[in-house]
Amino acid sequence: MESLLVRKGGPLKGTVKISGSKNSTLPIMAASLMCSGEVILTGVPDLEDIKVMSGALELLGARVKREQDVLVIDGSTIDSFELPEEFSRRMRASNLVMGALLSRFRQARVAYPGGCAIGTRPVDLHLKGFEKLGYTIKEEYGFMEGNGQPRGGKEILLDFPSVGATENIMMAATLLPGTTILRNAAREPEIVDLQNFLNRMGARIRGAGLDTIRIEGVQRLGGVEHAVIPDRIEAGTFMVAAAITRGELFIENVVLEHVQPIIAKLQEIGVEVIICSCGLKVVGNQKMKPTDIKTMPYPGFPTDMQPQFMALLSTVEGTSIMVETIFENRFMHVPELRRMGADIKVEGRVAIIKGRTDLEGATVEATDLRAGAALILAGLFAEGETRIQQLEHIDRGYENLHVKLKNVGADIVRGPWS
């Protein structure tokens, strides 16, 4: 089994180019099933999750080709509407094929995704939305199954602005007659990217990025070329890398608006963020201040940056408070950070962090994707050597993370040692 060895080095310095967004690419890949033409996606990151989604599309009969950061998807040969458990279990986002298949073929059968490390993550909002659109939904033998000939023109109010439910319902409504109105929708940038992609294919969707989305049904969609947006969480992770090493990184290929909640918190603790026309520069500070953070749906502070900020605040003297409101079990990195000497207490969804400057390297496990990133960041600060295991979680969502870190001066190696 491979692991990463991280040693405390000097401040990171240099330029990092951010890859395309994982969370944008996955729903867009699912949406590619909705036309029989060829879809060309550019800026696609090379990640395990993208490979799993490619495998899922191929299993349904689509042809998927990859060359460097370009993915070509041909949905003209789809001949199956069923996604088995092996895909649903490996990646929750594979359930996004359900909305796409329902829209185009009016039938889909997808294995229930089950829980994952950071929470039970139900799909009730997705299924209620499909039912509200007029599909008949059955849940049996571990599968969710949908079919029917909905007449469209429905209003749906989400109980919570779920990212996945918003995307799935948007797709399921795109090829229905009438105008669907989706209220209390998630406002994440990835939803706007999905809308832009679908509209380019011929859909008529307005409002993504706001809390009400209007989907005027169209009869068919055609193949297009689309460049996915940069990954705001990867950008945020490198911004924290600059701060935690008290270094100076220039971040290229980032949409400023998408990282505003991260910039605001960094500035609040005393990190300098300089905005320029082609990116942003993050300058770490020896004298950072503690802060309080509450994760919220976009444009609030992203839950996907909570573990990385927890690592950073563990190195900032004073007491910080982190409240996780999105997932019920997203403090799995806390015991691992504690192994490195971090002083963090958890009470339900609240973590109290007493920052200290004497973290020490230890052997730790990347319990999930962002937890893994947090441990690498802590390792860059801690004295001695940190060994990070279970890299498969990190590979799901970061393209060449250790190589990119090494290029800006981190002392990090990946090897087959366990």
Choose between 189 and 202: whose C-beta lies nearer to ligand UD1: 189
**If you search the block for the tokens 């469209």, which residue do you land on?**
152
Choose between 129 and 202: whose C-beta lies nearer to ligand UD1: 129
Of positions 10, 115, 122, 415, contacts ligand UD1 by CB under 6 A: 122
- Scanning 38-46, 162-170, 212-220, 284-292 for contacts with ligand UD1 by CB under 6 A, the matching segment is 162-170
- Scanning 115-123, 173-181, 195-203, 272-280 for contacts with ligand UD1 by CB under 6 A, the matching segment is 115-123
Find the residue with minimal CB distance to ligand UD1. 164
Of positions 34, 102, 108, 125, contacts ligand UD1 by CB under 6 A: 125
Of positions 126, 132, 226, 414, contacts ligand UD1 by CB under 6 A: 126
Least distance (Å) between residue 280 CB and ligand UD1: 22
Residues 300-359 that bind ligand UD1 (CB under 6 A): 303-304, 326-327
Q: What is the 3-state secondary structure (H, E, C) of the chain?
A: CCEEEEECCCCCEEEEECCECHHHHHHHHHHHHHCCCEEEEECCCCCHHHHHHHHHHHHCCCEEEEECCEEEEEHHHCCCCEECHHHHHHCHHHHHHHHHHHHHHCEEEEECCCCECCECCCCHHHHHHHHHHCCEEEEECCEEEEECCCCCCCEEECCCCCHHHHHHHHHHHHCCCCEEEEECCCCCHHHHHHHHHHHHHCCEEECECECEEEEECCCCCCCCEEECCECHHHHHHHHHHHHHCCCEEEEECCCHHHHHHHHHHHHHCCCEEEEECCEEEEECCCCCCCCEEEECCCCCECHHHHHHHHHHHCCCCEEEEEECCCCCCCCCHHHHHHHCCCEEEEECCEEEEEECCCCECCEEECCCHHHHHHHHHHHHHCECEEEEECCHHHHHHCCCHHHHHHHCCCEEEEECCC
Structural contact between residues 386 and 362, judged by C-beta atoms closer than 8 angstroms? yes
146, 185, 138: which is closest to 163 by C-alpha? 185
398 binds ligand UD1 (CB under 6 A): no
Choose between 14 and 122: whose C-beta lies nearer to ligand UD1: 122
- Scanning 119-127, 177-185, 344-352, 400-408 for contacts with ligand UD1 by CB under 6 A, the matching segment is 119-127
Structural contact between residues 401 and 46, judged by C-beta atoms closer than 8 angstroms? no
CA distance 212 to 121: 23
Of positions 121, 206, 289, 294, contacts ligand UD1 by CB under 6 A: 121
371 binds ligand UD1 (CB under 6 A): no
- Scanning 124-132, 194-202, 258-266, 270-278 for contacts with ligand UD1 by CB under 6 A, the matching segment is 124-132
Of positions 58, 86, 124, 392, contacts ligand UD1 by CB under 6 A: 124
Least distance (Å) between residue 48 CB and ligand UD1: 13
CA distance 343 to 332: 15
Choose between 104 and 187: whose C-beta lies nearer to ligand UD1: 187
402 binds ligand UD1 (CB under 6 A): no
43 binds ligand UD1 (CB under 6 A): no
Choose between 25 and 386: whose C-beta lies nearer to ligand UD1: 25
180 binds ligand UD1 (CB under 6 A): no
294 binds ligand UD1 (CB under 6 A): no
Residues 13-42 that bind ligand UD1 (CB under 6 A): 23, 26
Choose between 26 and 97: whose C-beta lies nearer to ligand UD1: 26
The yes-or-no answer on residue 276 being catalytic is no
Choose between 285 and 325: whose C-beta lies nearer to ligand UD1: 325
Active site residues: 116
Q: Which residues of this protein are in contact with ligand UD1, per CB under 6 A?
A: 23, 26, 92-93, 119, 121-126, 160, 162-165, 186, 190, 303-304, 326-327
